[in-house]
Amino acid sequence: MRSVFRVVEMNQTAKNNRLWEVQLTITDDNDPQLSALTNRIKEEVKGSNGWYRMGKLMLQVGHFDQAEELYQELLKNASTDSDREHIYRQLGCVNECQGEYEEAALNLNNFLGIYLKTLHEDHSSLTDFYNSMSTVYVNMGEYLKAVEFHEKSIKIREISLPPNHPDLAISYNNIGSVYDSMDECSKALSYLEKALSIFRNSLPSTHPHIKSVMNSIEEVKKKL
- Please give the radius of gyration of the chain, using alpha carbons only, rounded to the nearest integer: 23
Q: What is the pLDDT of residue 145?
A: 97
> Domain range holding 23?
1-34
**Contact yes or no for 126/151 (Cβ under 8 A):** no
Q: Residue 15 falls within a domain, yes or no? A: yes
Instruction: Tell me the CA distances in angstroms from 26 to 7, 23, 31, 35, 39, one per residue in order.
Output: 9, 10, 10, 14, 19
Measured in degrees and rounded to the nearest 5, phi and psi for residue 18 equal: -95, -5
Predicted model pTM: 0.76
3-state secondary structure (DSSP) of residue 23: strand
**For the chain, how many structural domains are there in total?**
1
**Does residue 100 lie in a domain region?**
no
Residue 23 is assigned to a structural domain of this protein? yes
Question: Does residue 101 form part of some domain?
Answer: no
The answer to whether residue 24 is domain-embedded is yes
Pairing of strands 5-12, 20-26: antiparallel
> Whole-angstrom Cα distance, residue 152 to residue 203?
25
Spell out the per-residue pLDDT of the chain, length 224, in tens. Answer: 466 777 888 888 877 778 888 888 887 777 777 666 656 655 655 655 778 889 888 888 899 999 999 999 999 999 999 999 999 999 999 999 999 999 999 999 999 999 999 999 999 999 999 999 999 999 999 999 999 999 999 999 999 999 999 999 999 999 999 999 999 999 999 999 999 999 999 999 999 999 999 999 999 999 98
Residue 215 lies in a domain: no
Has residue 102 been placed in a domain?
Answer: no
21 occurs within a structural domain: yes
